[in-house]
Amino acid sequence: MSTPSQSFHAVVVGASGGIGSALTRRLLVDPRVTRVTALSRSALEASGAKPHWRQVDITDERSIAKAVAGLDEVHLAFVATGTLHENGELQPEKSWRSLDAAKLSRAYEVNAIGPALVAKHVLPLFPLEGRAAFAALSARVGSISDNRLGGWHAYRASKAALNQLIRTLSIELATRRKDALCVALHPGTVNTKLSKPFQGGVAPDKLFTPDYAAERLLAVLDGLTPADTGGFFAWNGERIPF
């Protein structure tokens, strides 16, 4: 991203995860970035003068407010959290017969509500003028118009909800910060714990390392303009329909 001449503060939420930690490492060595604040449930191991870690639970708004309290002006906020399966309890549904209220609520809590609450507390920290960006990890399966296979109800619906939240947030943000962006990003299939049980049918050249995904996502952000705010973009820059 093009940056202010004096300072550039990046915040990564979910910085201990596969993609989040790769994003943090890349931002730490980017000469344009003067400070990286890493927010996660567990500490991130990193060296150098830039990183600053704070604990956060994105399912608890009080935890989010505490984590961002006192932060300096923010120029990039990247929410790299998400859930698809958890301890054998939360699993992608193959049929409507598997729908369960608690599991649907959990997917929404992590994939949509959490990022929205992060935005609530971070967007006011954006500069009044000059480029800034809020980005959240979404997934192509969250595209309603691109859904041809069905299944995975909770994950699809929660990511679709995230996309709508991003779109809605972007409209308000444009009235307050005309140079700022608010976008959803699809990283592709990345070799992380989230995708591990579902990699069987993925071609080797379509299974990305976290570092490659982080590189591509930051490059896509670099190429976006305020006119792209509210959009949903893939790792290769393709605009994905909602």
Domains and CATH numbers, the chain: 9-234 (3.40.50.720)
Helices (H), 123-195: 153-176
Which positions ≥6 away from 150 have C-beta within 8 Å?
none
Here the tokens at position 23 are 């994003």
pLDDT per residue as tens digits for the range 47-64: 555 679 999 999 999 999
The band of 34, judged by pLDDT with boundaries at 50, 70 and 90, is very high
| pLDDT tens, position by position, 172-189 | 999 999 999 999 999 999
User: Is residue 5 pLDDT above 80, yes or no?
Assistant: no
Percent of the chain with pLDDT over 90: 82
DSSP 8-state assignment for residue 113: I
Among residues 159, 116, 115, 108, the alpha carbon closest in space to that of 138 is found at 159
pLDDT of 194: 80
- In the prediction, which pLDDT does 45 show? 66
How far is the C-alpha of 11 from the C-alpha of 52, rounded, in Å? 9
For residue 42, what pLDDT is reported? 85
Query: Could you give the CA distance from residue 89 to residue 76 in angstroms, rounded to a whole number?
Result: 34
**Segment 39-49 mean pLDDT:** 73
Neighbouring residues of 86: CB distance < 8 A, sequence distance ≥ 6: 106
To the nearest 10 degrees (0 to 180), the angle between helices 114-122 and 153-176 is 10
Give yes or no for residue 89 having a pLDDT over 80. Answer: no
First to last CA, the chain: 25
Query: Which of the two residues, 195 and 216, has the higher pLDDT score?
Result: 216
- What strands lie across the sheet with 232-234, from one edge to the other? 51-55, 35-40, 9-13, 76-79, 132-137, 180-186, 232-234
pLDDT tens-digit map of 6-16: 579 999 999 99
What pLDDT does 21 receive? 94
| Mean pLDDT over each residue of the chain, to the nearest integer | 92
Q: What is the pTM of this model?
A: 0.93
Tally Cβ neighbours within 10 Å of residue 90: 19
Determine the average pLDDT of the residues in 19-26.
Answer: 95
61-70: Cβ within 8 A, 24+ apart? 61/117, 61/120, 61/121, 64/117, 64/118, 64/120, 64/121, 65/121, 67/39, 68/11, 68/39, 68/121, 68/122, 68/125
> CA–CA separation, 238 vs 113, rounded Å?
26
